[in-house]
Structure 1
Amino acid sequence: MKKAALRKEFLQKRKEADEHWLIEKNVLIAQNLEKFIQNNQFKTLHTFLPQLGSREIHTSYIVELFRVSFPNMRIAAPYIIPGTREMEHYLLTPHTNLVINQWRIPEPDPLTSEKIQPQEIDIVLVPLLAFDRKGYRVGYGGGYYDRFLPQTRPECIKMGLSFFEEVQEIEDIDEYDIALDLCITPERVYNFND
């Protein structure tokens, strides 16, 4: 299938999902991610924050869990530079002031938050709607992560989080699409480098 069709299908699937199902799947994703993180030495994790009311993966829950489980790990989140398709990255601490952008996404306030560079990041949690067996993903169509991910170090892990399992193939992959290294679902961890 093509990205536009997959985007529509998976937005609809998420919209129709039962609230209890979503809560259960969020917890399972967080547990699978926590197990993965325990076996690795990451200093800085970058995460997207869910759009308010969107039924995205509840990364705010993951952030709270990780603050307890991995107190020495730094957590960062993106800030979209207004009028561009570029992002800056700021540490997310219990004291970070969050502002809501025009898409209703919470972001660290760039005036009061500590900025970090993409090269400092060890693992990026990448938002997506669907992914295929090669690790390519369907995002929301803005291209923000396609611009951001090449700025990270080659060894930085690009990890998707998905409520749903893989699709066979995304047909319209182009030269700007960057494959994930891993994707975590409620059922398993997909490793695309094996």
Structure 2
Amino acid sequence: MRKAALRKEFLQKRKDADERWLIEKNALIAQNLEKYIQGNHFKTLHTFLPQLGSREVNTFFIIASFRIAFPTLRITAPYIIPGTRDMEHFLVTPFTHLITNQWRIPEPEPLTSERILPEKIDIVLVPLLAFDRQGYRVGYGGGYYDRFLPQTRPDCIKMGLSLFEEVDKIADIDEYDIPLDACITPERLYDFKS
């Protein structure tokens, strides 16, 4: 299937999902991610923050649980530079002031938050709607992460989080699409590097 059709299909799947199902799937994703993080020595994790009302993977739940499980792990989130398709990245602590941008996405307030350079990030949690068996993803179409991911170190892990399992193949991949290294769903970890 092509990206546009997959985007439409998976947005509808999320919209139709039962609230109890979403809570259960988010908890399972957080558990699977915690197991993965325990087996690695990450110092800085970058995560997207969920768009309000979108029924995205609840990364606020992940952040809260990781503050307890991994107290030394630094957690960062993006801030979209207004009028561009570029992002800066800021530390998220219990004291970080979040603002909501024009797309209803919470972001760290850049004037009061500590900026973190992309090369300091060890793992990026990448937003997506669908992903395929080769590790390619369908995002929201803005290209923000396609611009950001090349700024990270080559050994930085690009980790998708998905409420749903993989599709067979995304038909219209282009040279700007960067494959994930791995993806976590409620059911399992997909490792695309091995």
Q: Which residue of 1 aligns with 2:165?
A: 165
1:77-116 maps to which residues of 2 (within 5 A)? 77-116=77-116
Tell me the alpha carbon deviations over residues 124-144 of structure 1, each in whole angstroms, 9 at most, x when there is no partner. Answer: 000000000000000000000
Look up the SS of the partner of 1:99 in the other structure.
strand
Task: Give distance in 1, aligned partners of 2:100 and 2:131.
Answer: 28
Tell me the alpha carbon deviations over residues 139-178 of structure 1, each in whole angstroms, 9 at most, x when there is no partner: 0000000000000000000000000000000000000000
The alignment partner of 1:116 has SS state of coil
1:179 aligns with 2:153: no
Give the alignment of 1:9-158 within 5 angstroms. 9-158=9-158
TM-score calculated relative to the size of structure 1 = 1.00
Q: What is the CA-CA distance between 1:115 and the residue it aligns to?
A: 0.2
Give the Cα separation in 2 of the matches to 1:56 and 1:165: 14
Give me the whole-angstrom Cα distance separating, in 2, the residues matched to 1:172 and 1:18: 31
Q: Letter of the 1:121 partner, please give it.
A: I
Partners of 2:145 and 2:52 in 1: CA distance: 19
Deviation of the 1:89 alpha carbon: 0.2
3-state DSSP of counterpart to 1:158: strand
SS of corresponding position for 1:62: helix
> For each residue in 1:22-74, what CA deviation from the matched residue of structure 2 results, as whole angstroms up to 9, or x when unmatched?
00000000000000000100000000000001000000000000000000010
SS in 1 for 2:167: coil
- Consecutive unaligned residues of structure 1, counting only runs of 5 or more, are none
Deviating above 3 A after TM superposition, structure 1's stretches of 4 or more consecutive aligned residues are none
Provide the rounded CA distance (Å) in 2 between the counterparts of 1:117 and 1:85.
17
Give 1:121 shift.
Answer: 0.1
User: Counterparts of 1:70 and 1:156 in 2: how far apart (Å)?
Assistant: 18
How far apart are the structure 2 equivalents of 1:193 and 1:106? 31
CA RMSD of aligned residues (A): 0.3
Counterpart of 1:89 in 2: which secondary structure?
A: strand
Match of 2:192 in 1: 192
Instruction: Give 1:91 deviation, angstroms.
Output: 0.2
User: Aligned partners of 2:166, 2:107: CA distance in 1, in Å?
Assistant: 29
What percentage of residue pairs aligned between the two structures are identical? 78
Q: 1:110 is aligned with what amino acid?
A: P
SS of the equivalent of 1:115 reads coil
Distance 2:94 2:24 in 1: 25
Q: Deviations over 1:81-103 (max 9, x none)?
A: 00000000000001000000000
